[in-house]
Structure 1
Amino acid sequence: MKKTIFAAFICLLMSVAAMAQTEVGNPKFYTVPSIYMPTDEVTFYFDMTDVGFQEGVDLYWWVWQPLEPDAGNWEHSSDFAKLEYVGDNIYKKTFVPVDYFFQNQDRFATKADLLAFMQDEWGEAGYWCRLKTIDGSVQSGVFCVEHNRTEIADFANSGAAYQLFSGDKTTGYTDKWTMNKPLSILFNGDIQKIGGKTLNELAATAGFKYIGTHAGIHGFYTDGNDEVIEYDFVDPPAKNLNQQFNVWRPGCIEKTSLKQVGNGVWRWNLMTPQEYFCYNPVNADEDPRGFILTDMGIEQNGKWAVNPDFVGSFTAESLKFGIVGNDWDWGSEWGFEFKAGTAEAYPDPSFSYFPSKVSAKDIITFIRQYNGRMDGELTWILTAGDKTFSGVMSGNRDRRQGSANLLQELSGISSDSMHLTVTNAKGAVVTEADIPLVSADE
């Protein structure tokens, strides 16, 4: 009997715990590099806008495919699973997949065994996961960040010398690159030639060190005086957004070099182009920060960052680059050029209400489209005469909506207009308007 009571008590506790969990939506996400392998350092970015978590709350990555490194810790996630909050509702996780999934497991005796599984036997999907608070009381839905094994293999068999992969796998890659989307360029080492030899032939020669790139962006910047400034493939002091291949700077070699990613394929990682071209690595004796900034960059907390004011007024025309080897022993000048695609700018906020002519007997509906990333849930506040009443505008960033029953709220109130104020989740006013009240028969 006691055992039965105890078992029932345990089931009750489990049911209460399950009921305490809240499942919200799923994030949008992308990876940098856009094409990566299990041995690469990769950053997963998660956009939590409208997902349902509290802004800035500590979040953790709960992943079970290909392995489950934090198994058994649902109620108190481990520190290694914590995401870094970037700001503006963006979180990130930087890791090397084969290292991350080798921890806390006994299925694979060596990291090489795990790598072989991830490269050859792993399924066609990717990293099945959730995001969660440390205790799991709030969790996202289940989603999958897909791996890139098939893209690299398909490219290797395509017969093409190179291919651009801009964007992410979830929404579909494109060769129409833009400044704010991750960009990787793959080169077939058995086809792409520099100086009469393929990349793989050059890599097999005695004394080989590295294959690097030198690159620049051609585009136009409109300054605060509406003057248009051209940036071209030139050297300082002329206006440029270039990344040189400076062999005396190890950080530069690391940033600009092509990496072998299997199947005879080499990859050039341009992060997002606006990140790639906002700084140049330098040696510590040149600048203790380890970098110098271009006009596209600013310093934040001792690190380089993209200047939002610059990129918001910059129109990219084309990416131009050359491939070089070792200490400029061989290579191309500006041998490649790719036109930029059109970046999709998020529309400006738009507010409306209907009916357009409002009486004290109507139900009025407020709509605000294309809200700020951090606006969150909106609150509308109406004042008519000596009465003030309010409500919420629910929905998502693209469209939030709320309604008020004026017949009910304005009963006994005499007024020929209403004053509307709309505030965001932090209480900042985002919209104000005076709304005339007409007679019911107008």
Structure 2
Amino acid sequence: MKKFIQALLFTLLLVPNFIQAQTQEAGEVGAMWSYPVVYKYDEQVTWYFDLSSTTFAAESDIYLWMWSPSEPDAGNWENSSEFAKLNYEGNLIWSMTLTPTLYFNKTPAEIAASAGFWFRLKNKTGTLQSGVAQVAYTDFSTFYTANELIRSYPTAPTLDKGISILFNSNLQPGFEGATSVHLHSGLNNWDIKQEYQAWLPEIVEKTKFKNLGNGFYKMDLIPKEYYNAPDGYVMNNLVFLIVKDEWASTTPDQVLNAGEYIPPPPPEFRFFPLQLSKKDFLGIIRKNNEPGVNKLLYTITANDVVLTGEFMGGTAEIKGFVNLVTPLKDVQNLTSIHVLVKDNNDNVISDTTIPLKTVD
């Protein structure tokens, strides 16, 4: 009996360590995108993950754990391999560069027949993980039979995001037997140009379309980088024509109107209720938080009493309530409280004094 009790006590002592070692949820992965925007399964691509609404810390080591189309890092949940490590891009965005056929050791047909790219993001030891997510794949194979000269992904590009331009040279007279195809283009009706200059090798390479075979071509670019647009530049359109070899033939002029940039709404912060007494709960709420802001920390000073705490949330909303009733019940002659609120980046959100109404 004594040995049984000792064993039981030993087991109970281990429970906190066991619980601590369990995986914690970091939250759902935010926006995801790829560059190139569209790509073949045997083409190198970079996936981007916005983790600003999670509890993953900036610059932390994060790893990709995938199980579809295959499980490249199988058996290593508690010690992820270096090949699965993401690259930190800044602003709580991480990336992974890979060639799907090589990374998953699958043929294009096998990947196409799979359930898609399903994954979690995690720390190295597996004690912190994101929710289950899927990298979306855009199948552009319909372009091969669509009888379209030009197709772009997206149809309305933006300055700082990628665009893929597809070209079917079979539909353009004069492009038969082309050895190379190039982009002659500009932003905002040629306000900023990237001309095709066939006598400059570096420009020839920069403007060259990728040959997809059978007369089909693809160009991938990010307008701000490709045209070296200055900060604050507003993109209205992308104008271009496509050139065969050394200007042997061209397409008609083309134009892609830019997508409207919609800035995020400004943050909204407030206390509630509007009239407060020491017998109330103080509500604190902040909406439309900046990327990376997922916590509010408060310090409330009421004469000699100091209350501290924090609320967790995400970019959409962080909200919580502070119980004033119990800690302030014995504080006499209290007419106001001072409230300091900071975010998890140590930025001051509010530093104010709130008057208290008198209650019986």
Q: TM-score, normalised by structure 1?
A: 0.70
Matches within 5 A, 1:184-203: 184-191=164-171, 193=172, 196-197=173-174, 201-202=175-176
Q: Does 1:180 align with 2:170?
A: no
Relative distance call for 1:80 and 1:127 in structure 2 (3 A) is same
In structure 2, C-alpha distance between the alignment counterparts of 1:385 and 1:37, rounded to whole Å: 66
Relative distance call for 1:16 and 1:436 in structure 2 (3 A) is closer
Which amino acid counterpart does residue 212 of structure 1 have in structure 2?
A: H
Q: Does 1:42 align with 2:45?
A: yes
Asked if structure 2 preserves the Cα contact closer than 8 Å seen for 1:24 and 1:140, the reply is yes
Deviation at 1:332, TM superposition (A): 4.3
Pick one of 82, 88, 92 that aligns with 1:89.
92
Asked if structure 1 preserves the Cα contact closer than 8 Å seen for 2:53 and 2:292, the reply is no
In structure 2, C-alpha distance between the alignment counterparts of 1:121 and 1:75, rounded to whole Å: 27
5+ residue gaps, structure 2, are: 1-10
Q: Does 1:68 align with 2:76?
A: no
In structure 2, C-alpha distance between the alignment counterparts of 1:18 and 1:215, rounded to whole Å: 57
Matches within 5 A, 1:224-235: 233=190
Pick one of 130, 142, 145 that aligns with 1:157.
145
What residue is the counterpart of 1:212 in the other structure? 182
Which amino acid counterpart does residue 395 of structure 1 have in structure 2?
A: G
Q: RMSD across aligned C-alpha pairs, in angstroms?
A: 2.9
Q: Does 1:428 align with 2:347?
A: yes
Q: Does 1:361 align with 2:279?
A: yes
What residue is the counterpart of 2:234 in the other structure? 315
Deviation at 1:251, TM superposition (A): 4.4
In structure 1, C-alpha distance between the alignment counterparts of 2:111 and 2:290, rounded to whole Å: 43
After the TM superposition, list the runs of 4 or more consecutive aligned residues in structure 1 that deviate by more than 6 angstroms: none
Asked if structure 2 preserves the Cα contact closer than 8 Å seen for 1:381 and 1:421, the reply is yes
Deviation string for 1:56-78 (max 9, x for gaps)?
Answer: 22111222322333233333222
What residue is the counterpart of 1:130 in the other structure? 120
Which amino acid counterpart does residue 53 of structure 1 have in structure 2?
A: F
Matches within 5 A, 1:40-439: 40-102=43-105, 114=106, 117-119=107-109, 122-123=112-113, 125-148=115-138, 151-166=139-154, 175-191=155-171, 193=172, 196-197=173-174, 201-202=175-176, 205=177, 208-218=178-188, 233=190, 240-261=191-212, 265-271=216-222, 273-278=223-228, 294=229, 296=230, 310-311=231-232, 314-332=233-251, 335-413=253-331, 414-439=333-358
Which amino acid counterpart does residue 66 of structure 1 have in structure 2?
A: P
Asked if structure 2 preserves the Cα contact closer than 8 Å seen for 1:179 and 1:343, the reply is no
Relative distance call for 1:60 and 1:66 in structure 2 (3 A) is same
Relative distance call for 1:37 and 1:275 in structure 2 (3 A) is same
User: Quick one: percent identity of the two aligned structures?
Assistant: 32
Deviation at 1:120, TM superposition (A): 6.7
Relative distance call for 1:412 and 1:251 in structure 2 (3 A) is farther
Relative distance call for 1:353 and 1:320 in structure 2 (3 A) is same
Relative distance call for 1:213 and 1:119 in structure 2 (3 A) is farther
In structure 1, C-alpha distance between the alignment counterparts of 2:298 and 2:343, rounded to whole Å: 9
Asked if structure 2 preserves the Cα contact closer than 8 Å seen for 1:152 and 1:265, the reply is no
In structure 2, C-alpha distance between the alignment counterparts of 1:121 and 1:361, rounded to whole Å: 62
In structure 2, C-alpha distance between the alignment counterparts of 1:63 and 1:362, rounded to whole Å: 48
In structure 2, C-alpha distance between the alignment counterparts of 1:34 and 1:186, rounded to whole Å: 11
Deviation string for 1:99-124 (max 9, x for gaps)?
Answer: 3334xxxxxxxxxxx4xx31476326
In structure 2, C-alpha distance between the alignment counterparts of 1:433 and 1:156, rounded to whole Å: 63
Deviation at 1:46, TM superposition (A): 0.8
5+ residue gaps, structure 1, are: 1-8, 103-113, 167-174, 219-231, 234-239, 279-293, 297-309
Asked if structure 2 preserves the Cα contact closer than 8 Å seen for 1:125 and 1:144, the reply is no
What residue is the counterpart of 1:289 in the other structure? none
Relative distance call for 1:77 and 1:337 in structure 2 (3 A) is same
Q: TM-score, normalised by structure 2?
A: 0.85
In structure 2, C-alpha distance between the alignment counterparts of 1:128 and 1:264, rounded to whole Å: 33
Asked if structure 1 preserves the Cα contact closer than 8 Å seen for 2:62 and 2:86, the reply is yes
Deviation at 1:18, TM superposition (A): 11
Asked if structure 1 preserves the Cα contact closer than 8 Å seen for 2:21 and 2:127, the reply is no
Deviation string for 1:143-170 (max 9, x for gaps)?
Answer: 221333xx3122333333322222xxxx
Which amino acid counterpart does residue 247 of structure 1 have in structure 2?
A: A
Deviation string for 1:27-67 (max 9, x for gaps)?
Answer: 12110111111232211001111223233221112223223
What residue is the counterpart of 2:29 in the other structure? 27
Relative distance call for 1:38 and 1:246 in structure 2 (3 A) is farther
Deviation at 1:19, TM superposition (A): 5.8
Which amino acid counterpart does residue 215 of structure 1 have in structure 2?
A: S
Relative distance call for 1:262 and 1:377 in structure 2 (3 A) is farther
Structure with more relative contact order (C-alpha pairs < 8 Å, separation 6 or more): 2
Asked if structure 2 preserves the Cα contact closer than 8 Å seen for 1:153 and 1:263, the reply is no
Asked if structure 2 preserves the Cα contact closer than 8 Å seen for 1:125 and 1:146, the reply is no
What secondary structure does 2:124 align onto? coil
